[in-house]
A and B are shown apart, each in its own frame.
Chain A
């Protein structure tokens, strides 16, 4: 068990560019979540998958954001036409199928939009 991994750890991009982040959950976990965290705040829920199905999306997830989990294993989060307000830490978490409890987080991807 290597834990939840995320790639890249840091990303600097210019406004208007597209970025994609990857998350690899703990292998036996089939629920995967994306959160966004800004400085001084707790993580905010964006979306979650059970296997390959995206079951819930937050209103925070604008049309410029899209997430996929094509084979029910790793997931990607893409942000199109980035804006400076997208600068944040993007966190991925995974959990067992039974219930939402005990979510284990990855180290996060720090996005800076210049």
Chain B
């Protein structure tokens, strides 16, 4: 299947700092989704991106659909303790049966 490389694998930051993470694929994707998952729970959708170059915000979160259509970025500004969790990117390419492929996640720890 498709390989989505998500980086960094983990981050330890101070409360109030900004966070950046990214996801790259070996294929061109038509859609990118970003999720946050807490332990023992299902992923919660944060942002959906549908067009190359698209920049979309959801509160303190901003995500971008890369121009090459092979990458996406998520930024979190002014982090707070409740931002702790695992962030997953998911991408969909129309030439792979339309299913979504998920990255391996970025674990975020916010130190108060």
A interface vs B, CB < 8 Å?
4, 6, 40-45, 48, 56, 58, 91, 93, 99-108, 110
List the B residue with the shortest CB-CB distance to A42.
B102
CB pair B41–A45 under 8 Å, yes or no, is no
Contacts A42-B88, A58-B99, A106-B42 given; does A101 touch B104 at CB 8 Å: no
Assess the A42–B103 pair: CB atoms within 8 A: yes
Residues of A within 8 A of B44 (CB): 105
Task: Determine if B100 and A45 form an interchain contact, defined as CB atoms under 8 angstroms apart.
Answer: yes
| Complex contacts, A99 vs chain B, CB 8 Å | 31
Q: Which of B42, B43, B102, B103 has the most CB of A within 10 A?
A: B42
With contact pairs A101-B48, A101-B50 given, residues A56 and B42 touching in the complex (Cβ less than 8 Å): no
B50 touches A108 (CB 8 A): no
Sample 30 A-B pairs with CB under 8 A, ordered by A number. Answer: A4-B42, A41-B105, A42-B4, A42-B6, A42-B102, A42-B103, A42-B105, A43-B43, A43-B88, A45-B99, A45-B100, A48-B99, A56-B99, A58-B99, A91-B42, A93-B42, A99-B31, A100-B92, A100-B99, A101-B50, A101-B92, A102-B45, A103-B45, A105-B42, A105-B43, A105-B44, A105-B45, A106-B42, A107-B42, A110-B40
Give the interface of B toward A (CB within 8 A): 4, 6, 31, 33, 35, 40-45, 48, 50, 88, 90, 92, 97-105
Q: Report which of B42, B45, B104 forms a contact with A40, defined as CB distance below 8 A.
A: B104
B45 touches A104 (CB 8 A): yes
Least CB separation from A110: chain B residue: B40
**Bound: A107/B37 CA distance, A:** 10
